Copies of this chain bind each other. A is one copy, B any other.
Amino acid sequence: MTKVLSRKHLLSMKHLANADIYRIFEIAKDIEAGHVPSFHGKFAANLFLEPSTRTKSSFQVAERKLGLDLIDLEGATSSLTKGETLYDTLKTMEAIGVDVAVVRQSEVGLLNSCAGDLNLSLINAGDGCGEHPTQCLLDLYTIYEHFGQFEGLEVAIAGDLKHSRVARSNAFALEQLGAHVSFVTKPEWEDRSLATNYITMDEAVDRCDALMLLRIQHERHEQSTADQSYLEQYGLTKAREARMGPNSIILHPAPVNRGVEIDSDLVESDKSRIFRQMTNGVTIRMAIIQALLKGEL
């Protein structure tokens, strides 16, 4: 694998060629084999302006395993509410010696407009309804780990497509890597800008190699979804899981609404890669940080 282009930020899957994606997987496999570089003396700042447990914790573990020091930016919210721009906050981070800044915030495209003038590595950890490239890469890695390649794989993405940044990044990258992607959703959550090949959940379980369930974001919907009815119409029941192919797998970005997107008993079933995704998340984030800090991307 040759070096495709030198890059210091990871803002969007759209900036990554297939070769970049495979390069990150290669680094991840090296890390799993115990080849972990040390960035002792370098600093990471995790700036989460929207709530997060697992993404933030995952980055923290990844950063510490690489020997980076972390600074805590809870307070960053307060300067931003004082009217400081995100650019000035990031420029401040640069000035005090931060080498990599991981940012979750709600405005699509804002990071791109900041990135050009920053002398640190910027990682998009979710920008509203835009993208979430590290989640995408850990999903892809989890599929790759199981199937060894993407060419001709049938992948179904099921859930609230309209509000999911994960769906958008994943669909784009999977198609680029040679997989075929279908979608399952309620009519009011269809996003025709994303795709047109909508199928039912029953068709999905019969056909797919990888079933990617999305989280119903109760906190973004005014009216609570009738959970049991959602599970029956659009979710993964035990009956549906039994119809899935013997080599097929189930993914979910978590947190899972047990009994809504998926029957609670299936969360830790054989086909489920839900907790494996979290483990891979740490490895993939280590690989991304290594790639950015060492100019390997």
B57 with A93: CB separation less than 8 A: yes
A192 to B195, CA, bound (A): 66
Instruction: Please name all residues of chain B whose beta carbon is closer than 8 Å to the beta carbon of A281 when the two chains form the complex.
Output: 96
Chain multiplicity (copies): 3
Residue picked from A52, A58, A88, A256, most chain B C-beta under 10 Å = A88
Tell me if A228 counts as interface (CB < 8 A to partner B): no
A96 to B219, CA, bound (A): 25
Identify which of A15-23, A74-82, A174-182, A206-214 touches chain B.
Answer: A74-82
A117 CB → nearest B CB, Å: 8
Identify which of A64-72, A156-164, A196-204 touches chain B.
Answer: A64-72
On chain A, the number of residues with a Cβ less than 8 Å from chain B's Cβ atoms is: 51
- Chain B residue nearest in CB terms to A91: B275
B72 with A52: CB separation less than 8 A: no
Instruction: Select A219's contact among B82, B93, B95, beta carbons within 8 Å.
Output: B82
A51 with B75: CB separation less than 8 A: yes
Tell me if A282 counts as interface (CB < 8 A to partner B): yes
Mark interface residues in A227-264 (1 if CB within 8 Å of B CB, else 0): 00000000000000000000000000011111000000
A145 CB → nearest B CB, Å: 14
Tell me if A291 counts as interface (CB < 8 A to partner B): no
Tell me if A279 counts as interface (CB < 8 A to partner B): yes
Instruction: Please name all residues of chain B whose beta carbon is closer than 8 Å to the beta carbon of A257 when the two chains form the complex.
Output: 83
